[in-house]
Structure formats: structure tokens, C-alpha cells
Structure 1
Amino acid sequence: MIERRTSFLAITALAILISIQEVMSIEVNKTFTMIISSRKNQTGHSISQASLSKEGSKIPKHWKLKVEQTMTEYAGIQSFHLGAVAIAPPQLPADYQLFPGVGYYKFHTALANGFEDASSRCANEGGHLAIVNSEAEHQVLQTLFAKHPESELKTVWAFVGFHDRLKEGEFVTIFGQPLQSTGFTRWSSPGQPDDYNKAEDCGSVHRNGGLNDIGCGGKLPFFCEYDLSWTEN
């Protein structure tokens, strides 16, 4: 009779050293070192730890570090997997305006070539199309809009971050959350949203601060807000 035993993976130390150097210019170097270690404690539980050190000038102050460990078993053999992802946030654009207690915003008066172009341009700045979550945020957009008269912009609308492209009448944010859950659903006027000519599937805001559905291909100004989750520890 052959006795078969299942061997458990005993990990006393696992160290992964990653060094990445990014040369931004001749004068500016960025280097970070990430060390991941894993061990089993006295009760047999696996414990993983990660640390990140940074050197160089103009390195982002805040980083996101995600570590995951999993155990798989096949034919009586257990395998241990440890992975980590370090994300460096973009620098806060200097031309975003801070509204204390609300966030950072920018009103792009240079017209976007449709909703997707507006969304992409916000993302390239480390932000996203603005999503109105409160009365205070509604007032921010209204304040920024008021700095540019209708005679200058030639429109009373600007793109913001919601749409009903997945199902007509079911408005969601650009992150897939129901518009009703955002905390602000005041429309620009009675009768809105109206899906005019069955061709209005993207979100906009009127200069009065109210929401509106509008054609996704329109050439409009747009509001970006900086993604404050980058600044979370």
C-alpha cells in the first residue's frame, strides 16, 4: 500500500524586489522599490506584507499599492500566489480650481468633439467628467458656468458624467451607478429629460445648474473634476 501525503506549502520568507526607473528628462529620475514578503504564522495562516520606498525628484506624494494572495490546489499539490500592483497617480493639474469641502474642478470652454472626447480629455488630466453629487457641487458648476456668458460660449449646455446609452430612460454615471444614487437629480426644466428626436443619450448640465439629456456627438464645453480617490492613503 502506498501512503500518499498532501504537502502544504511552507513559506518562511518570500521577497520580491522590484526596481523601476523612469527617466522623465535628463535631469529628473524617478525610482521606486517595492518589497513583498509572506510567511505563515504559528496558527498556519499566511500573512503578506508590502512596503514601498521612493527616491528622486517630483515623485507623486500618494501611491496606491494593492497586494493579493491566493492558494490553489491541483492533484494534491498546493500552490501559493502573491501579486502586487503599484499605481502612481497623476499630478494635480495646476489649472483646476479648488472649492473647499467639495473638490477640484475645471470648466473646459474649448469645445469637445462629443461626449467620448470630453471624457477622454478629463481622464488625461487625472480626472473624470464631473458627476453632481450634492447641492454644493451643483453650485460649483453653476458658478464656473457664470464666468462665461452665453454670448461667449454660444451654448447653454456642457457635458457632465452621466448617460442612458445602455437602456433608454435609465440614467447612470460614467462609473455605472444609477443617477438616482448620486444625491442630485434636479433637471434643468419641466419635461426634461425628453430624448429629443430619440437622439439624446448623454448627460449635460444647463447654465442654471440643472441636468439635461443631450446628443452624444455634440460639440460642447464640459466639466472635469479631479479624482480625489488618488489622494486617499
Structure 2
Amino acid sequence: MKYLFTFVFLTFFISSFAQSLPSNQQVIADVKKYHGKLSTAQLNGDWQLVKEAGYTFANTAKHPVAAVTLKDASGTQTKIQGLAIYVRVSARDAWRFSRYFVYENSREVVGAKMPTNEEMVSIVEKALAEKANLVFNNCSWICWVYAIRVPEKVNYQQQSATEMSFEVEIEYEERLSGMTERSKQIVEFFCRKINNQWQMNYSMRRQITPVSKQTVSQDILENTPGICDKPFAELYGSQGPSFASSKSNSKVGGRLKSLLKVN
């Protein structure tokens, strides 16, 4: 009986030891060695045990790790978020480090120079002039852009030396059925640096705020060009749209109101 108890105890001890998760210090060391270019690494959150298909036990263990890279040639560093991943073949095996998986959308450059408001507006203006359909998929219905504004607290991130994103507010007029609607919308622009120039790669439209609506006759609407149909500069500015076929022009609210019903 004594020997049986000793055997059970030793088996339990060995099994427990084999299943014990790596220490915090070991995880950080493994992640730094795997990545090769990290200045600091810090554990976030808790362990997540995963039982993958075909296993009767948790064969994968993951732990969130935040890190900062070493400075590059330009003197900038990048913050990253990822998972330290460990695996084992059997329930009694020790955990073996597999890899450090980095979330690509978590990258944020530290110490990079943020573009000025004027530079960000210029990037958006160029995008609307050259790739309006990538900003507004209904660009033929956007008949005027009043303004492009950078918020006071701009949501700006630089993911790498050649990738960044920022948000602006675009105020525009959209033609609908029997009317036009003036709105303000927050749009996030994702940019890449090409030939040392920032260019829009793609955009995402977010919060929209309606401003006003105007009734417009259908014959005018059908002949109203959108920003895809004419040079952007001709449909951009605080003055608002005008129509040669409208019977009268009147200023309302400090801007030209020329979208009127034609009898």
C-alpha cells in the first residue's frame, strides 16, 4: 500500500510538473528570441488553453504579449500586440514554444512625425480627385463637397515607416430621389508612402451626421454631375452647387441655395 501511494504521488507530481505553464520570465525570453528585434516585452491578460480538433486535451496555450521594437534607422520604434503560442503533443508533455503571432492591425509607430492638418487635407483632396469611388462608392451621387476638416483630436496612427491612418470629417451634398441631403461624415484614410509621398490606399466611412435636406426637381437631379463625373475642383468649395436650369438663386444660412423645385 505504501509503495502504491508513493507511485501515485510521483505520477501526479511528474504529470503536474509537465503540464505547468511557462513562467512569465520564460515567455518574455522566448518572445524576444523569436522576434529578434524587441526592446521590451510585457505580458497582458491571462493564459488561454485551446483544445484543437483531434485532441482530447488542451494542446495549445496562448498568452497576450505587448512589445516595443528596437529603434530603426530613422530613430522610430513600433508598438505591437501579439500572442506567445506554446504547444504539446500529449497531456503529460512539457509546453514547447511555437511562435509569437503579431496582430498586423496592432502596429503603432512611436516617435514618428505626424503630418500637418494641411498635409492630411491635401491627401484627401488628391484621393477625391483621383479615386473618389474608393472614398464614396456612390460617388456619382455626391454632387458637392463643401469642406474637409481635421478634428481637433485627430485619430492618427502610424503602423510603420510606410503605413499610416487618420480620420477627417467630410461635409458633402448627396442627390437622392426628389431631393438632396447635406451631411457630415467621419472617414478614416489608410495611406501608404510611395516614392516618399503619402497616398491613400483605401478608406472606411464611419459616423454620419445629417445637416439638411432640400427638395429638387427630378429633371435637375438627373442632369446633376457627381464628383466621379467632373473634375473634383469644380465641385469643391464652401459656396455650394449651382444649377444653370434653376429659376432662382437665394442665399440661405450663409451659403447659396440653388436647388429649387422647377414648376
Please state which band the TM-score falls in when normalised by the shorter chain: 0.3 to 0.5
Name the TM-score, length of structure 1 as normaliser.
0.35
User: Which structure has the larger Rg?
Assistant: 2
Which has the higher relative contact order, 1 or 2, with Cα contacts under 8 A spaced 6 or more apart?
1
